[in-house]
Amino acid sequence: MDFIMGDSSFTHLGQLIGNLPGLPAESDRAKAVTQQQAWRKVAGDEIAAHTEVQVENRNWRIVADAPVWGHAVSQRRQALLEGLTQAGLQPVDLMVEVRPPRTPVSTPAPVRQQNPLDPDSAELLRQTAHGLKSRDLAESLNRLSRHTSKNRSS
């Protein structure tokens, strides 16, 4: 198949994406991966799983998905800075921000459509309730019989 594609002007998607203006350069992406790996190693898997790292000019913004994780980072701030420095990253500061992950907007529960009883069925329920020995069942049937439609169908 290589002989067919030898003269083709086909360009791999990775090459096209890498050349788009506004996207980070390959070295920036590699640096971001290195920073993420260092963060996971220094902070630990548990904290890293609930935080996102954004580095700008050696200022590290740690975005936590819940207040408890933001607090955990704040409590370990000095140790985390030292660990990142030992990893060769020389952060100037750690800023913690709590931003819950986006959740899809839930749709309201559908309004339950009521299907009222026809008057004949309601009357049958009342008659049945009248002849019952069980008072609770009779009351339930009477309540149910009140759910009738307003107009009589033929």
- pLDDT for residue 126: 92
The residue to which tokens 């890498």 are assigned = 18
Give the H or E element holding residue 98.
strand 93-98
pLDDT at residue 97 above 70?
A: yes
**140 close to 149: Cβ distance less than 8 angstroms:** no
Residues 73, 74, 79: CA angle, nearest 5 degrees? 70
- pLDDT for residue 48: 93
Q: How far is 147 from 104, CA to CA, in rounded Å? A: 37
Mean pLDDT of all residues in the chain? Answer: 81
Describe the chain by its helix, strand, coil percentages, rounded to 5.
50, 15, 40
Mean pLDDT is lowest, of 2-11, 33-42, 60-69, 95-104, for 2-11
- pLDDT for residue 153: 46
Which CATH architecture does the domain made up of 24-98 adopt? 2-Layer Sandwich (3.30)
pLDDT at residue 8 above 90?
A: no
The residue to which tokens 């994406």 are assigned = 17
CATH 3.30.300 domain range(s) in the chain: 24-98
HEC profile for 125-143?
A: HHHHHHCCCCHHHHHHHHH
- pLDDT for residue 152: 46
